[in-house]
Amino acid sequence: MIPLRTSVAVVEPPGATVGILLALVVVFLFQASLPPDLAERFILNNALVPARYAAPSLEAMRGLSATNYLPFLTNTFMHADAWHLVVNAWALWVYGAALEQRLGMARLLALYVVAGLAGSAAHFAVHPTSTVPALGASGAIAGILGGFIVAHRGARISVLALPLPRIVEWPALSFVIVWAALQAVMAIGDLVPFEAPARARGGIAWWAHLGGFAAGLALAALLAARRQPVRIIGPALGGVRAIGRPRAPIEIMGSRGAVPVVAKTAIQTAAAVRLVPESGTTTRRRGGPWSIAKRG
């Protein structure tokens, strides 16, 4: 099943999500532009090779330093091929834009980084002797998915169901539970020994997915609780939005009776009401009689 969109209305430009997407594309294009030997060196230096820390003497032969911990983060901005990038970028866009709507730019970036680090740590903990470079944004994006379900647990997700192409709408909570269960099954299967136990599997970092997802769940629960959801003030103002609960209305008296008006800024109030001339009223503006009426 391929997620297509969520039911969350995105009314703020998802700047952090777009920024991460651009970073992923730029890093991949740079990596793809390198000659094969330099590209291999770039991957070895910046992808996560667990054995460089668990068996530094072994990895020293490949020129990898055991004191350089940047790959725990840098690998989350790298991808093995264009399809790998497209899949991760699309998932980031679907869930990241909706989550950024709830958290804001800075907190979404923080969640991405922390979830990416947690995913790398989980992969390293399970496969400490692996000499296979692990790279990809999957762990960090799994954290974005975890944050999404915390912030928008009542949302719905439209997915493209295969092999017979059709669009199916799932409750977000059910979809994420199924996804997490599949990741757990594959992660447990990843622990089964095989022919070369010294070279741990680590082909697909299932444990990085679970580690990032768990970090996203925990961190979003903290971050989302500290920021009020964004709401649209009114269709008349288009892009104007506010944070927090709607304010209580007040009544403005005129010759036509009381009219409820939300006590906001002058610009916001002007969008909800209009001034029309009328004789015999007590409300005046620049010497002329005016009363407040609802905008038609």
Q: Report the alpha-carbon distance of residue 254 to residue 148 in Å, rounded.
A: 47
CATH topology of domain 2-227: Rhomboid-like fold (1.20.1540)
Q: What is the pLDDT along the chain (296 residues), one digit of tens a residue?
A: 788 899 888 887 899 999 999 999 999 999 999 999 999 999 999 999 998 998 888 788 788 888 899 999 999 999 988 999 999 999 999 999 999 988 889 999 999 999 999 999 999 999 898 888 999 999 999 999 999 999 998 899 998 887 777 888 889 999 999 999 999 998 888 777 654 444 444 457 889 999 999 999 999 888 876 555 555 554 444 444 555 555 555 555 555 555 555 544 444 444 444 444 444 444 444 444 444 444 44
Q: Domain segments of the chain: what residues?
A: 2-227, 244-294
**What integer pLDDT is reported at residue 181 of this predicted model?**
93
pLDDT at res. 226: 59
